[in-house]
Amino acid sequence: MLHYQPQISLKDGHVVGFESLVRWRHPELGGLAPDQFIALAEDSGLILPLGEWVLRTACRQVTQWYSEGKNPGRVAVNISACQLGDYSLLDVVRTVLRETGCRPEWLELELTESSIMTRTQQAVSVMSKLRELGVQLAIDDFGTGYSSLAYLRQLPIAKLKIDSSFIRDVSENEDDAAIVRAVIALGKTLNLQVIAEGVETCEQEDLLRAEGCDVVQGYYYSRALPAAEAGEFLRQEQHHSTKAVTSEPESLS
């Protein structure tokens, strides 16, 4: 099943997207998080059909939200190294977009540094064609891999996502704070949006806002939610935003 975690703009507090996160409802072990089964899916070869199912389900859901008059922004889907290395990825994305009615600009694909750097030329080629479709691309877990800045400059990406391991102690650990500042500065230099994941406290949010981070997600705002609850979260957020605008006092000038 898929859960969806809201992504919040630090500029105005509005929802600008959702990250889709896969869960496995095991008949004996209960709910399992991705780190408990994705490696097994990759080793067994099941990651390709699983990845396509995740992509299709997320695209169908974001399309439904738009059809209901909601504005969820983009839905982000994680792409594994195996999927990036499979030459059919581009065809799968095209097919899913067509069959679900999802517009390319509603979809964001997240790729890790390591998945890109292990097959750089092929990754750049596939990513370039995905961008030509209108799909936005992001580097996930940025700072944990070994990406070359020379290659980073060539990648057709729109967003850097700071890994949660740097956010956890960012308000107490100066080394983590320095890394976060550097990633945000790098993103701005390259005209990339920067998103921080794993935000859990007001202090973390304050530091990220002060440093110019664009978007945040984490338990401070919401856990990852089942589709129905995510839709209700979005509805309430947009209702409050509309109410705030319509209740503003008239100008006295």
In the predicted structure, residue 106 carries a pLDDT above the cut 90: yes
* pLDDT, tens digit, 9 for 90 and up, residues 180-196: 999 999 999 999 999 99
Q: Which residue has the tokens 């400059």?
A: 153
Q: What type of residue sits at position 51?
A: G
Residues 6+ apart with CB under 8 A from 55: 77, 92, 93, 96
Q: Which residue has the higher pLDDT, 157 or 252?
A: 157
In the predicted structure, residue 247 carries a pLDDT above the cut 60: no
pLDDT at 224: 96
Supply the Cα-derived Rg of the chain in whole angstroms. 19
26 pLDDT tier (thresholds 50, 70, 90): confident
Mean pLDDT of the chain: 89
Taking the C-alpha atoms of residue 181 and residue 178, their distance in angstroms, rounded to an integer, is 5
**Lowest mean pLDDT segment, chosen from 26-40, 76-90, 236-250:** 236-250
Taking the C-alpha atoms of residue 176 and residue 44, their distance in angstroms, rounded to an integer, is 36
Task: Give the three-class secondary structure for 159.
Answer: strand
pLDDT at 241: 67
Q: Which of 46, 161, 169, 154 is nearest to 113 (CA)?
A: 161
**Whole-structure pTM value:** 0.90
CB 184 within 8 A of CB 190: no
251 pLDDT tier (thresholds 50, 70, 90): very low
Task: Give the three-class secondary structure for 242.
Answer: helix
